[in-house]
Structure 1
Amino acid sequence: MDTDGHGTDAGRPARPVQGFMALPGRTERREDVYETCLENVVRSLGLGVALETDRADLRTWGHVVRAAIRGACRRGIVLSEESFEVLLRAAVHEPDPSFNRWFVEPALNAFGHRRVRIALLGYLRTGTDLERAGAARAWYWSALPLRMPVVRAENGRATGQAETDDGSTVVAEWNEAALREFVSNENVDVRRCVLPGLSLRKSAYPPELHALVDVAVATARSHPDEYIRHRVEHQVGD
């Protein structure tokens, strides 16, 4: 994900638009939680990364773990049920939106778009504010095409590859939940992360939500955060 947090109404990655401000870093960070997520990924996926490695520089250790994931996906890997939750949690807690793709994509290919999106929707609806913001960032990658045929779920069924459900129902549920979250949740990280993927066209929602779209636009335009004010004008103008 580019650090400007591009997204689309239908859940598909968009072509970059010039002029966006960079998405600011989170005001809340839980490096201890993120470190635990990386440890669990290493263990669950059986990656050849030494957990005893000096991790004073957590960012560098994150690069090591993600590189190991990419290598395993190229060679072929069978993901357990436990690995699904482990990967999604790591994606949600990844502090850099440029890197959460490397946790989302293996889960997509092994378990399918619908299951990944339902899990992210759960984080948006019931997670902490940190998790809600992370789920919004991870959602951007949930429409990636399935290009890892050697990444499979342990049950032997190629869930992702055989998936026929276009997921439109889950996308509609996400759009409504994201709209309501943006309006009701005053946490600046949540609003910054939800807004880039939030449709501000009334045609994307049922009539009963049209007034809420107006509230969302007004909220963003009057928000004290510069990024939110800047971003909404680009989205309303598109």
Structure 2
Amino acid sequence: MTTDGHETDPGAAAQPVQGFMALPNRTEKGREAFSRCLADVVRTVGLDIAPAEGPGDRRTWEHRARVALREACRQGVSLSEESFDALVKAGIHDPDPSSNRQFVEPALNAFGRRRARTALLGYLRTGTDPERAGAARAWYWTALPLRMPLVRARNPGAGRAEPDDRSAVSAEWHEAALREFVANEHLDVRRCLIPGLPLGKSFYRQELHDLVDTATATARSHPDDYIRHRVEHQVGDTGGL
């Protein structure tokens, strides 16, 4: 990987950014979990993909499934409630922090920003460590503008019923991410949280300011090069998704 998936505002035109280390690969392998999640996407969305012929065909099958999903979103697709869950899980378990966008974006467009973010927040709070790390990587893409008008919820009542709010659930996410970064020593979790974790105190209510100091000190003294590198960007971050 040459990018960490977290260098720029996903709602803006892509621009090359200098000075960011690439997000390292996960320390825990989760390819089988992702394949199961992708199979659920194929089934629930109704993609016309033949099953993989065997373990050696898995990567080829995954590529075909990704292409089929991309084409379905381009042509127009109505997504069921089950599809929403499958897309979110695939976005969380996708080992590529750039490709996971193609699962997050249709869920975002069909069901709304608040619902997609609330689902990821749930995984951050109660998921396994790989799910927490994956939720942090997927969260980045929830700031995308809604640009898939042909991707809709099958049940109109489950779709985007309220005006789009790009700040929806942000405060709750930032607090949960801050607490998780301090409390959870799992390397992947900390690596995946820190690119989206603003460490300016203005983002948090007064009673969390000591925790911001703890998170900053933890990151600066961490043995991992990526975390130590990234914290200096986060301390001066004036953005936040």
- Using the size of structure 2 for normalisation, the TM-score is 0.90
Per the alignment, residue 178 of structure 1 pairs with: 177
* Unaligned residue ranges in structure 1 (runs of 5+): none
Matched, 1:26 2:26: yes
How many residues were matched structurally? 236
**Whole-Å Cα distance in 2 between the matches of residues 177 and 232 of structure 1?**
17
CA apart distance, 1:30? 2.0
**Whole-Å Cα distance in 1 between the matches of residues 42 and 95 of structure 2?**
18
How large is the Cα RMSD of the aligned pairs?
2.3
Per the alignment, residue 229 of structure 1 pairs with: 228
Per the alignment, residue 201 of structure 1 pairs with: 200
**Whole-Å Cα distance in 1 between the matches of residues 15 and 210 of structure 2?**
29
CA apart distance, 1:52? 3.6
**Whole-Å Cα distance in 1 between the matches of residues 99 and 73 of structure 2?**
15
Kindly indicate whether the alpha-carbon contact (under 8 Å) linking 1:92 and 1:138 is maintained by their aligned counterparts in 2: yes
Kindly indicate whether the alpha-carbon contact (under 8 Å) linking 2:7 and 2:20 is maintained by their aligned counterparts in 1: no
Kindly indicate whether the alpha-carbon contact (under 8 Å) linking 1:33 and 1:93 is maintained by their aligned counterparts in 2: yes
Q: Tell which deviates more after alignment, 191-200 or 166-175.
A: 166-175
Per the alignment, residue 64 of structure 1 pairs with: 64
Kindly indicate whether the alpha-carbon contact (under 8 Å) linking 2:112 and 2:164 is maintained by their aligned counterparts in 1: no
Per the alignment, residue 211 of structure 1 pairs with: 210
Kindly indicate whether the alpha-carbon contact (under 8 Å) linking 1:2 and 1:98 is maintained by their aligned counterparts in 2: no
Cα displacement string for residues 64-86 of structure 1 (whole angstroms, at most 9, x for unaligned residues): 21111110011111101100000
* Unaligned residue ranges in structure 2 (runs of 5+): none
Aligned to 1:56, what secondary structure does the other structure show? helix
Does the C-alpha gap of structure 1 residues 202 and 21 become closer, same or farther in structure 2, counting only changes over 3 Å?
A: same
Aligned to 2:156, what secondary structure does the other structure show? coil
Q: Tell which deviates more after alignment, 60-69 or 214-223.
A: 60-69
Misfit runs of 4+, over 3 Å: 10-17, 52-55, 57-60
Per the alignment, residue 119 of structure 1 pairs with: 119
Cα displacement string for residues 32-88 of structure 1 (whole angstroms, at most 9, x for unaligned residues): 211111111111111011114445254443222111111001111110110000000
**Whole-Å Cα distance in 1 between the matches of residues 80 and 71 of structure 2?**
18
Kindly indicate whether the alpha-carbon contact (under 8 Å) linking 2:73 and 2:148 is maintained by their aligned counterparts in 1: yes
Per the alignment, residue 149 of structure 1 pairs with: 149
Following superposition of structure 1 onto structure 2, how do residues 23-172 of structure 1 map, counting pairs within 5 Å?
23-56=23-56, 58-157=58-157, 159-160=159-160, 162-164=161-163, 166=165, 168=167, 170-172=169-171
CA apart distance, 1:156? 3.0
Identify the structure with bigger relative contact order (alpha carbons < 8 Å, sequence gap 6+). 1
CA apart distance, 1:135? 0.1
| Percent of residue pairs bearing the same amino acid type | 67
Aligned to 2:78, what secondary structure does the other structure show? strand
Aligned to 2:222, what secondary structure does the other structure show? coil
- Using the size of structure 1 for normalisation, the TM-score is 0.91
Kindly indicate whether the alpha-carbon contact (under 8 Å) linking 1:12 and 1:140 is maintained by their aligned counterparts in 2: no
Q: Which amino acid aligns with 1:25?
A: N
**Whole-Å Cα distance in 2 between the matches of residues 22 and 11 of structure 1?**
17
**Whole-Å Cα distance in 1 between the matches of residues 78 and 177 of structure 2?**
33
